[in-house]
């Protein structure tokens, strides 16, 4: 799968789960794994850090 | 076999550790993304697969809080409870409750406009530490050491003027070693603690690069952490303390959705396992 921002190859680990965040090694953009069915993976833009994020 | 539901909005190491420990204990673990869950006023518990108990683990405080309200509406047991999350997520509410329960906490001043906060600061004297009432990871926490800093900080707040910017929470600057202590409590019992050492600056948040180091839980620490947990309403909490040179330990924060991946690596006790066990025992009671 390629990065929607810069077209670099995204390495998605086999054990990655839905909801996990992956980062593009080239441009640093963050993506969330939206769906995963075997080797078919869908990603979406990850949310940015919000004012209320944390513990 | 029981079923634990872990509600998340960003799947972090902590949530995966909880899932793994639930499975290791022979239970089912359901991972549920709050962002794609829809609830309405006719929703019933049986419409969803929330299992026997929910661990609310959203990184967004408001999302988690409102999700918890929905769960309690459907009579679904959730940790932490809405009242606990509501209080711990707001530093002013939390501080008031600590003080009300005679738990040592830094002296804190509340004002409700920049003008009033400025007058109070001039009267009390510098330095004081300003903290946003909502927020984590040290964001917006700044020592105000002089008039110029105060003017700059307050002017920015007046410009941004979000609802919480109108609440001025100013706290005494504690004279302490360059570290604080995080104690994780599960069901009012301290299970692990760490020092969080400043990486050079004023703040000691792990999220900002502070170095974690295992800390032995003293009797004083245990007593204060237990009291703080009970005051908040119990559950799974992260109690933050500072070592005041004169007064000993003072609690400056209680965290609702505690992060533990760093501490879990060095703690003697299995933190995520104990969280799962506590959650299941909580629902059996």
Cβ-contact B153, B145 below 8 angstroms: no
Distance from CA of B17 to the nearest CA of A (A): 13
Q: CA-to-CA distance for B10 and B57, rounded, in angstroms?
A: 9
pLDDT tens, residue by residue, A23-46? 999 999 999 999 998 888 999 999
> Distance between CA atoms of A2 and B172, rounded to whole angstroms?
51
Is A53 in contact with B59 (Cβ distance < 8 A)? yes
Given this model, what pLDDT does residue B200 score?
72
Condensed to tens digits (0 to 9), the pLDDT of residues B51-108 reads 999 999 999 999 999 999 999 999 999 999 999 999 999 999 999 999 999 999 999 9
- Give the pLDDT score at B20: 97
pLDDT in tens, B176-194: 998 999 999 999 999 999 9
- Degrees, nearest 5: CA angle B111-B206-B231: 50
ipTM over 0.90: no
**Domain extents in chain A:** 1-47
Query: Could you give the number of structural domains in chain B?
Result: 3
Q: Looking at residues B109-120, what average pLDDT do you find?
A: 97
B220 inside domain: yes
Q: How many CB atoms lie within 10 A of CB B243?
A: 16
Chain-centre distance of CA B226, in angstroms?
A: 15
| CB-based contacts of B148, cutoff 8 Å, min separation 6 | none
Length of chain B: 285
In this prediction, residue B208 carries a pLDDT of 66
In tens, the pLDDT along B13-48 reads: 999 999 999 999 999 999 999 999 999 999 999 999
CATH of the domain at B128: 3.30.1490.20
Residues 6+ apart with CB under 8 A from B129: B141, B142, B143, B144, B170, B171, B172, B173
Are B61 and A21 in contact (CB < 8 Å)? Answer: no
> pLDDT value at position B209?
66
- Tell me whether residue B92 is in a domain: no
Interface list for chain B against chain A, based on CB atoms closer than 8 Å: 8-11, 15-16, 31, 33, 59-63, 89, 132, 134-137, 139, 162, 207, 238, 255-259
- What is the span of the domain harbouring residue B25? 3-87
* A51 to B259: CB separation less than 8 angstroms, yes or no: no
Q: Determine the 3-state secondary structure of B151 from DSSP.
A: helix
CATH number at residue B17: 3.40.50.20
CATH 2.20.28.160 is right for the domain spanning A1-47: yes
């Amino acid at each position: 799968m390629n990065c929607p921002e810069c077209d670099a190859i995204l390495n998605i680990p086999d054990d990655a789960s839905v909801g996990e965040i992956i980062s593009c090694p080239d441009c640093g953009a963050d993506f969330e794994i939206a769906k995963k069915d075997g080797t078919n993976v869908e990603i979406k833009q990850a949310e940015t850090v919000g004012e209320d994020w944390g513990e | 076999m029981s079923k634990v539901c872990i509600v998340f909005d960003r799947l972090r190491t902590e949530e995966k550790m909880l899932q793994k420990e639930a499975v290791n204990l022979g239970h089912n673990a359901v991972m549920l993304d709050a962002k794609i869950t829809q609830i309405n006023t006719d929703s019933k518990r049986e419409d969803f697969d929330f299992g026997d108990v929910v661990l609310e683990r959203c990184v967004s405080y408001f999302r988690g809080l409102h999700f918890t309200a929905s769960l309690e509406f459907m009579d679904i047991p959730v940790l932490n409870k809405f009242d606990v999350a509501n209080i711990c997520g707001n530093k002013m509410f939390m501080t008031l409750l600590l003080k009300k329960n005679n738990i040592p906490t830094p002296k804190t001043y509340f004002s409700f406009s920049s003008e009033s906060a400025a007058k109070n600061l001039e009267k009390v004297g510098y330095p004081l530490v300003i903290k946003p009432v909502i927020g984590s990871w040290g964001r917006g926490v700044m020592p105000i050491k002089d008039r110029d800093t105060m003017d700059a900080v307050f002017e920015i707040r007046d410009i941004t003027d979000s609802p919480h910017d109108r609440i001025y929470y100013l706290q005494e600057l504690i004279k302490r070693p360059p570290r604080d202590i995080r104690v994780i409590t599960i069901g009012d019992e301290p299970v692990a603690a760490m020092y969080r050492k400043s990486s050079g600056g004023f703040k000691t948040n792990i999220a900002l690069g502070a170095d974690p180091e295992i800390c032995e839980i003293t009797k004083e620490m245990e007593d204060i952490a237990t009291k703080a947990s009970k005051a908040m309403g119990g559950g799974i909490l992260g109690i933050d303390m500072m070592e005041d040179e004169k007064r000993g330990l003072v609690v400056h924060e209680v965290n609702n959705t505690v992060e533990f991946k760093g501490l879990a690596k060095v703690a003697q006790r299995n933190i995520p396992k104990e969280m799962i066990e506590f959650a299941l025992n909580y629902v059996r009671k």
